[in-house]
Structure 1
């Protein structure tokens, strides 16, 4: 997984007054948990731009004055309810031999034949929570939907990997194509006579209901 470097300064005081002064100076108060004790530091708000305002997942290399370096992942972030300025960020320290939980983005590749035939693509899980050792964290889940037909879906079960544990039930649907009123069946969508019969019976049933 790609890493972003954040350069900051360790905080000597963590009271409300000093925190307010930091924010007024354009800095963000932060805490790193997971070590022997919490590590409080601050950094310029602009330093977090490529970490916060992106759909991608990253690890973070925190470099503090004095040469101290910590590898971490972002766990929580607070924004101002009116201005959307970053108020506070929590990080969790990474260790090579200790698994960490992280949300990994899902990316779709290809064009679904089900959508071309009028179906609706429902992207139900844009991120998946996983648990893995730091060097096993994937940048993203890459899902090919080029064979996804109307009525089909791709679930967590198809994404299982020995490198990490996905913290969702195997039956969790990530993406699916649902039928729509304007959807049409084509030969490449049908599988055998059952598919053909279903395609011809459906309009008759709808007409009867109307």
Structure 2
């Protein structure tokens, strides 16, 4: 997995006013967890582009005024309107300790259901996994080459060496949805076709009675 370097500076003021001042200056207030003590620091917002606005997972090499740490970005808070990064939490990691990460999922292959007119829908953009740092991938490929109508790829269908998937086993990752027009056509066809062995409609029965009487006269 690729590692991104983030340069940080320790914070002197931890209040709301100090945090807002940092944001106004183009910085992100941050906290590093996982050690003996939490480290409060800030970092230029521009450095977050490669780890936040991406479709791959990354490790983070933190350099906080000369102190270096290996970490992962655990949580990011965004402004609800402007989507400016308000705060970031990092978790310190070590090679001998398992970690939980959200790894982006990529759909690969051509689903048969799509060639029949269906729409491939990705239900989960990422998968939560547990494993050692050395086993963490940039992304997880999900093969949809056998995905047809009325079928789904579930979390339990995905295997990756060294990783344990933490999402619900029966949760869908990808499905092929039947187009609405095709659904309506199928429903209309089913309604128009009488079930096997079903009694004739009342109108049809009445039409058949005169024919039987004529046969009796003969």
TM-score, normalised relative to structure 1: 0.82
Task: Check if 1:207 corresponds to 2:206.
Answer: no
Paired position in structure 1 for 2:53: 53
Whole-angstrom CA distance in 1 between matches of 2:189 and 2:13:
74
Helix, strand or coil at the partner of 2:21: helix
Question: Mind listing any 5+ residue stretches in structure 2 that lack a counterpart?
Answer: 195-218
- Aligned-pair Cα RMSD in Å: 2.2
DSSP 3-state at the match of 2:48: helix
| Partner residue in 2 for 1:119 | 118
The range that moved more, 142-151 or 48-57, is 142-151
User: 1:1-210 residue pairs with structure 2 within 5 A?
Assistant: 1-65=1-65, 67-180=66-179, 204-208=189-193
Question: Aligned partners of 1:174 and 1:146: how far apart in 2?
Answer: 14
Superposition deviation, residue 52 in structure 1: 1.1
Unaligned 5+ runs, structure 1: 185-200
Q: Structure 2: how far apart are the matches of 1:176 and 1:15? A: 47
Larger radius of gyration: 2
Deviation at 1:104, TM superposition (A): 0.8
Give, in angstroms, the shift of residue 183 of structure 1.
5.1
**What is the CA deviation profile of residues 67-126 of structure 1, one whole-angstrom value per residue up to 9, with x for unaligned ones?**
211111111111223322111101111111111111111101122121110223221111
Q: Which runs of 4+ in 1 moved over 4 A?
A: 181-184, 201-204
Query: SS in structure 1 opposite 2:8?
Result: strand
- Aligned-partner SS, 2:107: strand
Q: Give the Cα–Cα distance (whole angstroms) in 2 for the partners of residues 204 and 167 of structure 1.
A: 43
Q: How many residues align?
A: 192
Q: Check the 8 A contact 1:117/1:183 in 2, yes or no.
A: no
- Stretch deviating more after TM superposition (51-60 or 154-163): 154-163
**DSSP-derived class of the 1:49 partner:** helix
